[in-house]
Chain A
């Protein structure tokens, strides 16, 4: 315990053995998490993995069934008012008051905090200055999310919690929001976010925890996680007439690290594309098989998730 506390000053978030059950469903299953100050930390996982439950427990909005949470070295039981002053939050599915203007909404949130920035300053930051006098009901989805983040930033928080901040946004709005979050990180802020977009985790996060069934199944920087595949590239191909080649033959090709077949498409995780692809062509020519599809790409966190769970991050 003494050791635990001694590490506190640089730790922004620290969780030990979090468990949360809903009836017989275990949403969070013994989760440990350590986020340093100034770090942007992402929880990546499919819907229903337990990300939202975890981030809400850490924010003191849900009571865990077991485990311990410390935020900025403080516990929710003893320091709730202080912690609320020092954190900013954007929750999933929050609908802000429809008939308030952008500026009125941020002003109201600003009034809850002892310290913070000027309302117009934060509107500038999220590029909503032009919409400041519009009712929220008249904003597009791509404008509402930056507003939710503005409400979180207006207290100049030490930690920013974002629960799926870009879900449902168009690519341009998404990139714009990433820019806001990166800016907060550059100024030294700590970010904990959940997402099921691997690009988001790769773009924004210093470290990522891949979460499935309420547990962390992999943890590291995006580069480390991709490197853990043992290969940096993926070759995908399919054969005409639903043809197939046995996996054992593919596995012995030079540069191939791992073979996986899914719905008639073969995924090869490879170290050296320039060696693996000619060897693959030769093998297929020997077998008299013809390609109907061939593509290669750099490995992503999606491939990491796929190799760990056999499932995709998103169903769509």
Chain B
């Protein structure tokens, strides 16, 4: 009994796909984890009214009175505490600010924490108001909850970018290093297998899974949170395709010499952690000092996330994000080039 064998490229790609689909943990991290993350973060940030500020009032002259007047306000939750206990809670982050009654009133807080800054503004405003301040102008509020401008809308493209980075590096890098470690690369080298086809099979297998992993997050965001897709699906597909190629190349580079799983894991973290921090996955990189921005923008994941957000949320065309895609592709080409030169088969 015989059956058609198919070409070596098909067989190598099938190998990659089988390796992945037969490993339940890998499936979880690639497909389920980003969705769980999106769901958790989406719930935490999307349906929330004005934030409640948690503070303490130090027990002392006028303390109880200040505590009662602040605690009665809807956006402040106050506790009356002895000085050292209040200080302890402040330093462990359980409260954002400590208020001390007196003339002048004292507000103690850590200005590097964003919720502490918010607490300072809210508490100062409240103290002025209960002390009889009259506002000179009236302010009207309008809360924005339109799809496209919420946190979840910001988050979903970031998660897609993060996933493309993670699966590119892990999917390609981990597999290669394991095969090198198992002397399987050497065995392949003893056969007439073409090295280029081996490399290509890793990239092709990534493309197969890409459809599922990006599609799952996109669809989830759209169905559950109504995250809009304002640009064309073709543009998104093109961006995702270029991004996946680039991160496959970086995965190949990271795996080009490493002998052990531990070694390659360290290298991957070295590559991925800066991007997790700087590339605007969970929060905008505009939070970083302006002098860093030129560097942050040049990182491949930043460019990928910016391009995805522009197309999804602003409906930008593929041409409009051409510059960003050039940055992404540039990293990819450079990585492939260096990886092919450096690659060791044993």
Contact surface of A with B, Cβ cutoff 8 Å: 59-61, 81, 84-85, 87, 89, 91-97, 99-100, 104, 107-113, 118-120, 135, 151, 155, 161
Contact = CB atoms under 8 A, between A and B. Distances in A.
Given A81-B192, A84-B191, A89-B191, A94 B5 contact: no
Nearest to A114: B192
Contacts of A95: 182-184
A10 B181 CA distance: 38
A99 B193 contact: no
22 contacts: A61-B186, A61-B346, A81-B192, A89-B190, A89-B191, A91-B187, A94-B182, A94-B186, A95-B183, A95-B184, A96-B184, A99-B18, A107-B11, A108-B8, A108-B12, A108-B14, A109-B191, A110-B5, A111-B11, A112-B8, A119-B3, A155-B191
Contacts of B179: 97
Given A113-B192, A155-B191, A161-B190, 17 more contacts: A59-B190, A91-B183, A92-B183, A94-B186, A95-B183, A96-B184, A96-B187, A99-B22, A99-B23, A107-B11, A108-B8, A108-B12, A111-B5, A112-B191, A112-B192, A119-B2, A119-B3
A92 B187 CA distance: 9
Nearest to A101: B18
Nearest to B182: A95
Interface string B168-198: 0000000000010011101101111100000
Interface residues of B, number: 28
Interface in B1-54: 1-3, 5-8, 10-12, 14-15, 18-19, 22-23
A143 to B, nearest CB: 17
Contacts of A94: 182-184, 186-187
A108 B19 contact: no
A85 B192 contact: yes
A104 B183 contact: no
Contacts of B23: 99
Interface of B: 1-3, 5-8, 10-12, 14-15, 18-19, 22-23, 179, 182-184, 186-187, 189-193, 346
A255 to B, nearest CB: 50
Contacts of A161: 190
Nearest to B12: A108
A111 B6 contact: yes
A120 B193 CA distance: 21
A313 to B, nearest CB: 24
Contacts of B2: 118-120
Which of B6, B10, B18 has the largest number of chain A CB atoms within 10 A? B18
Nearest to B179: A97
B187 A89 contact: yes
Contacts of A108: 8, 11-12, 14-15
Contacts of A97: 15, 19, 179, 184
A303 B1 CA distance: 48
B200 to A, nearest CB: 14
Contacts of B3: 119
A101 to B, nearest CB: 9
Contacts of A59: 190
Contacts of B183: 91-95
Contacts of B190: 59-61, 84, 87, 89, 91, 161
Contacts of A84: 190-192
A100 B11 contact: no
A99 B187 contact: no
Nearest to A85: B192
Contacts of B189: 61
Contacts of A87: 190
Which of A61, A94, A110, A135 has the largest number of chain B CB atoms within 10 A? A94
Nearest to B22: A99
A76 B196 CA distance: 19
A94 B3 CA distance: 27
A96 B23 CA distance: 16
A299 B187 CA distance: 37
A99 B182 CA distance: 14
A110 B11 CA distance: 10
